Chains A and B, each alone.
Chain A
Amino acid sequence: MKLGFVVNPIAGMGGSVGLKGTDGELYEEALKRGAKPVAPSKAVRFLQALSEKGFQGVIVAANSVMGCDYLSSSRLRFSCLDLPDRGKSVTSREDTLRVIEVFLKSDVDLIVFVGGDGTARDVLSVAGTKVPILGVPSGVKMYSGVFATSPEVAAEVVVEFERGNISVDQVEVADVDEIKLKEDLLNVRLYGYAVAPVLEGFVVPSKDLVSGSEEEKWGIAKYFIEEYMFPGVLYFLGPGTTTKAIADLLGLKKTLLGVDAIYERKLVGRDLSESEILRLIEKYGRVSLVVSVIGRQGYIFGRGNQQFSARVLRLVKKTDIFVLATHSKLAGIKYLLIDVGDPELELELSGYWRVITGYGEETVKLVLPACCVDKYLSSGGLTQYLKT
């Protein structure tokens, strides 16, 4: 197996000095505040674990501080690219992008990067869905679903991937909107979908190469169309691959990352903003929202689909909101979360929801406001929690 390995040496530096990232100006700021690099040690831990766990393949690594510096002491087989130039101690986005391009040309089977959401975005922008990617967490921002929980777990995943015990799935690459960031408002944007190894539970051995997840999404979409799509109703489909599957089945081209509207099997709006959504609701009257679960924490509203704002939600009946999610998506998620900046509305929407999880199959999941999961847990039950 050929593994492409690249490190973003400055990722994660901001955290210790109170910065929310190291992109652009923030890097200079971090240095000023005396931050030290964090990524190199994560890289070393990852490679160490990889060697210990018996990785058999060959590593194609970026040069010097972006990769090869950390490999020289290990027993792994590797080769070094001649990018970035030797002696360059401060690397940039461009360096990352060029390295990924070379990886693709070298036919790597998997790309492992050490970094945060920013790095994930960069990798995604070149790799797209052509090669699976996996992140060793070393960033301040990590909303994307491509990260393992630690360098050691990442090594474990790589070894299992090599053995064919893990399948891949499309996973969100998300990031916090930097502009809004400075004003202390959290606005997580969905940047796209990458292909990544499925990290939740190495299910019983014997898996197909491509995850059964595609089939699951197909089944969900088919069932939704057969059972819940009626004429005379406008359907807003949120971002994600599962909602996209609905459009695919209807022969429509839906945006992967935006909110599109479908009326009687025709596309009547693409990549809609909040105000456009409000206008359409007024125009059509009867509407339904169809969303899927975004990210690994289980958000159904508030991450990646802020177009469905509190104002929008107040105009839609709870029974006209449909949540779709594959089992792999739900694995490890205990509660679904909402965060739309309207506590009263969030409380109203809290409770047991039916999530469509397969053809002819719905799974009940508890929906809670993101702020208050602990409160629920300590209140001893839903009715108790709702009362307080």
Chain B
Amino acid sequence: MLFRQAKWEEPIVFELSSFSKQTFLIDEEFANEASEALKRIPESLVRSSELKIPNLSEVEVVRHYNRLSQMSYGVDVGPVPLGSCTMKYNPKICEELASDPRVTELHPYQDEEEAQGILEIMYLMQRWLSEITGMDECSLQPPAGAAGEFVGALIIRKYHHDRGLNNKNEMIVPEAAHGSNPASSAMAGFKVVKIPTAPSGETDIEALKSVLSDNTAGLMLTNPNTLGIFESGIVEISDLIHEKSALMYYDGANLNGILGIVRPGDMGFDIVHLNLHKTFAAPHGGGGPGAGAVCVKKELIDYLPVPLVGFDGRSYKLRYDLSRTIGRVSWFYGNIVPIVKSFIYIAALGPALREVAEVSVLNTNYLMSKLRRMRGISLPYGENRWRKHEFVVSFENLLKETGVSAEDVAKALLDRGLHAPTIYFPLIVKEAHMIEVTETETKENIDRLAKAYEEIIELAYRDPQVIKSSPVNTSVKRLDVLVANHPRTLAPTYEHLRRLKSQEV
């Protein structure tokens, strides 16, 4: 499929016009009161520094940002097979309903009696997410997955502290885990102990046993893991951890591969976080907003962040009566808009949610079976194992034999109108491509992706320079990373750019 991305030499907004146009109209009904009040502002606090924000007419603003959007790429345009990101299709009905003013124009401090609709939705979400994960209660407050992990780590910390077990200061995390796992544990004051992955692709249980001690506070695990492989030893692992009076934490980023088929609660996990902007189809927004729920087993409900939504038989209320709460991880109650989108998604699918896991796993293994046979690609770890929602291949051989790297292959995919998968992660695989096509991908597109890989590899052996000079069909070609990061040419704002330009002259 031919692909040419739009290319506009779109000026930075500050350079769109040298004139000052009439901007968005603001009323002057209170001009008198304003000038009275202005006199009362202490002189040092009156704005004297220049506001260098351009003044443009509406059509210029619209065209500028529309043109910028044409030089971007999202799931609505083509596949974005990023591993562990679950970039699935965002149903439009979710978008439309969540933009209802009864959601967007509602103030968080509105009297609960007047917010019964949204509170009921939140309550149902707490229930549904508990059911999906096999847990007993959920908090919707964390604004993203990483924040959810942090909540989990804090809960573990407080739980042990309350039992006088302050020596429990070690959190065990697999080496292949998402980077936010150790960071969130560290934020909660834990020491992080990383354990290796065995050649089977599962966590090395012997290594785990070697570090388990009375100092172990918990184990953070995602299952299926970042290789897309199911930890079949999970029950044994869970028992080992519980024997040491430690807790099991589930990183829900990979839930898409097991929805409705296995539940983390049944695997033995005590705390779970979910990424609503992954598994539950809320859009990714170019880097956010997300929404991360945290679900726990009965014993830990009192530790959840406040408030939760409760129901007293008559109406829905915000509950602050959690006796051991870790406090607030954000102001207000959570990222409501993505929560509403996920609510619509789950409501619409109902029991068909299980189909999500079945098809995402089917799609993944189908693509994997095509890719693994290709020259230059190897499948490290568990070569005889089925994957679940994602798989990781290595281009190590391709690099050795042709000099074409995983990054080069990724750039060549862009040229074919396909967003690249995650590259160079997990770190336990060299020259990695971590691929997750999700259940919303068509067979045609999966075939197209496989064919693209095939073409790229064939070119790599025949004429590697072509691949190494991609992308050429995107808005721009490869960027100068040195200039971008060098202290002398660093430019994170327009002001920096301006100064650099004037220095050059």
A and B: interacting chains: yes
Chain A interfacial positions (CB closer than 8 Å to B) = 49, 52-54, 152-153, 155-156, 163-165, 201-209, 227, 327, 331-332, 351-352, 354, 357, 359-366, 381-383
Closest chain-B Cβ to A386's Cβ sits at a distance in Å of: 10
Chain A residues with CB under 8 A of B207 = 352, 364, 366
Chain B residues with CB under 8 A of A383 = 206
Interface residues of B in 379-405 (CB under 8 A from A): 400, 403, 405
Q: Quick check: is B192 within 8 A (CB to CB) of the other chain?
A: yes
Closest chain-B Cβ to A362's Cβ sits at a distance in Å of: 5
Q: Quick check: is B407 within 8 A (CB to CB) of the other chain?
A: yes
Closest chain-A Cβ to B95's Cβ sits at a distance in Å of: 31
Question: Closest chain B residue to A332 by CB distance?
Answer: B430
- Interface pair B191/A360, CB less than 8 Å apart: yes
Question: Closest chain A residue to B402 by CB distance?
Answer: A152
- Interface pair A53/B182, CB less than 8 Å apart: no
- Interface pair B481/A206, CB less than 8 Å apart: yes
Question: Closest chain B residue to A204 by CB distance?
Answer: B424
Chain B residues with CB under 8 A of A209 = 482, 485-487
A-B contact sample (18 more), CB < 8 A, given A163-B482, A362-B192, A364-B193? A54-B465, A155-B403, A164-B481, A164-B482, A164-B485, A201-B424, A201-B427, A202-B407, A204-B424, A204-B425, A207-B481, A209-B485, A331-B427, A360-B192, A361-B191, A362-B191, A364-B196, A364-B207
Question: Closest chain B residue to A150 by CB distance?
Answer: B400
- The docked-state distance in angstroms from the alpha carbon of A74 to that of B175 is 45
Q: Quick check: is B235 within 8 A (CB to CB) of the other chain?
A: no
Interface flags, B407-443, vs A, CB<8A=1, else 0 = 1000000000000000111010011000000000000
- Interface pair B403/A49, CB less than 8 Å apart: yes
The tally of residues in B whose CB lies under 8 Å from a CB in A reads 36
- Interface pair A208/B190, CB less than 8 Å apart: no
Mind listing 30 A-B residue pairs with CB under 8 Å? Answer: A54-B465, A54-B468, A153-B403, A164-B486, A165-B482, A201-B431, A202-B405, A202-B407, A203-B424, A204-B407, A206-B484, A207-B485, A209-B482, A209-B487, A227-B191, A352-B207, A352-B210, A352-B211, A354-B211, A357-B194, A360-B190, A361-B194, A362-B194, A363-B193, A364-B204, A365-B196, A366-B196, A366-B207, A381-B206, A382-B206
- The docked-state distance in angstroms from the alpha carbon of A352 to that of B486 is 40
Q: Quick check: is B480 within 8 A (CB to CB) of the other chain?
A: yes
Closest chain-A Cβ to B177's Cβ sits at a distance in Å of: 12
Q: Tell me which of A164, A205, A359, A366 contacts B407 (CB under 8 A).
A: A205
Interface flags, B453-489, vs A, CB<8A=1, else 0 = 0000000000001001100000000001111111100
Chain A residues with CB under 8 A of B469 = 54
Chain B residues with CB under 8 A of A153 = 400, 403
Asked, given contacts A49-B403, A352-B207, whether A206 binds B191 with beta carbons under 8 Å apart, the answer is no
- Interface pair A152/B430, CB less than 8 Å apart: no
Q: Quick check: is B186 within 8 A (CB to CB) of the other chain?
A: yes
Q: Quick check: is B151 within 8 A (CB to CB) of the other chain?
A: no
Closest chain-A Cβ to B463's Cβ sits at a distance in Å of: 10
- Interface pair B195/A364, CB less than 8 Å apart: yes
Chain A residues with CB under 8 A of B193 = 354, 361-364
Chain A residues with CB under 8 A of B483 = 164
Closest chain-B Cβ to A171's Cβ sits at a distance in Å of: 19
Question: Closest chain B residue to A201 by CB distance?
Answer: B430
Chain A residues with CB under 8 A of B400 = 153
Closest chain-A Cβ to B314's Cβ sits at a distance in Å of: 48
- Interface pair A205/B481, CB less than 8 Å apart: yes
- The docked-state distance in angstroms from the alpha carbon of A211 to that of B370 is 38
- List the 5 shortest-distance A-B pairs measured between CB atoms, nearest first: A164-B482, A352-B210, A363-B194, A361-B192, A364-B195
- Interface pair B485/A364, CB less than 8 Å apart: no
Chain B residues with CB under 8 A of A208 = 485
Interface residues of B in 174-214 (CB under 8 A from A): 175, 182, 186, 190-196, 204, 206-207, 210-211
- The docked-state distance in angstroms from the alpha carbon of A354 to that of B175 is 13
Closest chain-B Cβ to A159's Cβ sits at a distance in Å of: 9
- The docked-state distance in angstroms from the alpha carbon of A118 to that of B481 is 35
Question: Closest chain B residue to A155 by CB distance?
Answer: B403
Chain A residues with CB under 8 A of B465 = 52-54
Chain B residues with CB under 8 A of A165 = 481-482
- The docked-state distance in angstroms from the alpha carbon of A203 to that of B429 is 12
- The docked-state distance in angstroms from the alpha carbon of A165 to that of B425 is 17
Interface residues of B in 114-143 (CB under 8 A from A): none
Q: Tell me which of B206, B425, B468, B480 contacts A352 (CB under 8 A).
A: B206
- The docked-state distance in angstroms from the alpha carbon of A165 to that of B484 is 11
Chain B residues with CB under 8 A of A52 = 465
Closest chain-A Cβ to B459's Cβ sits at a distance in Å of: 15
Question: Closest chain A residue to B170 by CB distance?
Answer: A362
| Chain A CB within 10 Å, residue with most, of B403, B430, B465 | B403
- The docked-state distance in angstroms from the alpha carbon of A238 to that of B487 is 34
Question: Closest chain A residue to B205 by CB distance?
Answer: A381
Chain A residues with CB under 8 A of B468 = 53-54
Chain A residues with CB under 8 A of B204 = 364
Closest chain-B Cβ to A50's Cβ sits at a distance in Å of: 11
Closest chain-A Cβ to B65's Cβ sits at a distance in Å of: 25
Chain A residues with CB under 8 A of B206 = 352, 381-383
Closest chain-B Cβ to A349's Cβ sits at a distance in Å of: 13
- Interface pair B191/A156, CB less than 8 Å apart: no
Chain B residues with CB under 8 A of A207 = 481, 485
- The docked-state distance in angstroms from the alpha carbon of A159 to that of B338 is 44
Chain A residues with CB under 8 A of B194 = 357, 361-364
